[in-house]
Amino acid sequence: MTLLDARKLVSKKVDELKSRVDKLSKKPSLVIIRVGDDFASGKYVANKIKKCDEVGIDSKIIHFDGDVKQEVVEETILNLNKDEDITGILLQLPIPKHLDEDYLTNLIEDEKDVDGFTIGNMGKLSLGLESNVACTPRGIITLLKEFNIEIEGQDVLIINRSNIVGKPLAQLFLKENATVTIAHSKTKNLKEKIVLSDIVVTAVGKANFLRADDFKNNTTIIDVSINFNELGKMCGDVAKEDYDVLVNEKQCNLTPVPNGVGQMTVIELIEQTIEIAEKRERI
Ligand code: GUN
């Protein structure tokens, strides 16, 4: 089977999105709010801004010091909600502990919530209604469809129960008529569940957490994690030295890290921003 490398799909999508932006009367604009100096967040935000430039949409970072007061972030979000020139708002997570993450995330207007994280958007998704959808789950479904991987009727195991990945992704798989199991740190007999699954999504955050022996032949493995191994190299949860056995001997499909799911998250964010702009212009 194959390594599900996202790079070709991303460059095809960049071209498609550029022409969608050209058709709009006003350029979409994305504002990213970042608090503090978390190293990984800095990298993710830089990737998002770079992709906005590539596609030709406006973007801006509002960067607060790690000790910023809750009221300052609140006021910023409320002003951005009101600002007609802003298409989408994103609060990069995690934020420092003295700030109320749930409250601030929910302060973003549903329509401008490009992450799909508000109660309104998550609620609509759970009810099967049209909504903004979390970008990593969106990207995973797009990638599976691009590679013509069957979803309907498949046994899907998601090893993650977060609001960003596991929960919204379970909803998207249900919408595609898959049978979904969510596993987490307290799950019993995880290995038995992995070996019975047709599609395994892992977002555990531990290098070498999964090995080739853990999977049955023909499994599709979606590795969401971005970890760094003892040599400082980026890797996912699946051991890199097992990629060859998984793809060539066990006939598995596998998203590599890097160049897999991470690339998809960013392009889906840009696409969702453009979708919001398109909807606004249709009104
Ligand atoms: N932190 C890690 N992933 C994400 C994401 O998709 N959106 C936001 N806002 N923060 C994140």
pLDDT in tens, 215-234: 999 999 999 999 988 888 99
- Residues in contact with 230: Cβ distance below 8 Å, sequence separation at least 6, in sequence order: none
Half-sphere exposure of 200 (CA within 13 A, CB side): 30
pLDDT score recorded for residue 93: 96
CATH classification of 26-109, choosing from 3.40.50.10860, 1.10.630.10, 1.25.40.10, 3.40.50.2000?
A: 3.40.50.10860
Place 32 in a pLDDT band, splitting at 50, 70 and 90. Answer: very high
Q: What is the pLDDT of residues 257-268, one digit of tens each?
A: 999 999 999 999
Q: How far is the CA of 85 from the centre of ligand 1 (A)?
A: 23
pLDDT of residue 259: 96
Which residue ranges does the chain devote to CATH 3.40.50.10860?
A: 26-109
Tokens read off for 249? 């001997």
pTM over 0.95: yes
What value does the mean pLDDT take over residues 183-188?
97
Residue nearest ligand 1's atom 9 by CA? 92
Cite the DSSP H helix spans in the chain.
7-22, 39-55, 70-82, 101-107, 119-126, 135-146, 166-175, 190-196, 243-244, 261-282
Which residues line ligand 1 at a C-beta cut-off of 6 Å? Answer: 90-93, 115, 135-136, 164, 265
What is the distance in A from the centroid of ligand 1 to the CA of 245?
32
Ligand 1 atom with least separation from CA of 93: 10
Q: In 3-state terms, what secondary structure has residue 64?
A: strand
Q: Which of 31, 115, 140, 269 most suits a substitution to test ligand 1, by most atoms within 8 Å of the C-beta?
A: 115
Give the class (CATH, top level) of 135-262: alpha beta
pLDDT band with cut points at 50, 70 and 90 for residue 244: very high
**In angstroms, rounded to a whole number, what is the distance separating the alpha carbons of residues 145 and 67?**
43
Residues forming CATH 3.40.50.720 domain(s) in the chain: 135-262
Instruction: Check if the beta carbon of residue 29 is closer than 8 Å to that of residue 58.
Output: yes
pLDDT in tens, 100-152: 999 999 999 999 999 999 999 999 999 999 999 999 999 999 999 999 999 99
Residue 54 Cα to ligand 1 midpoint, Å, equals 20
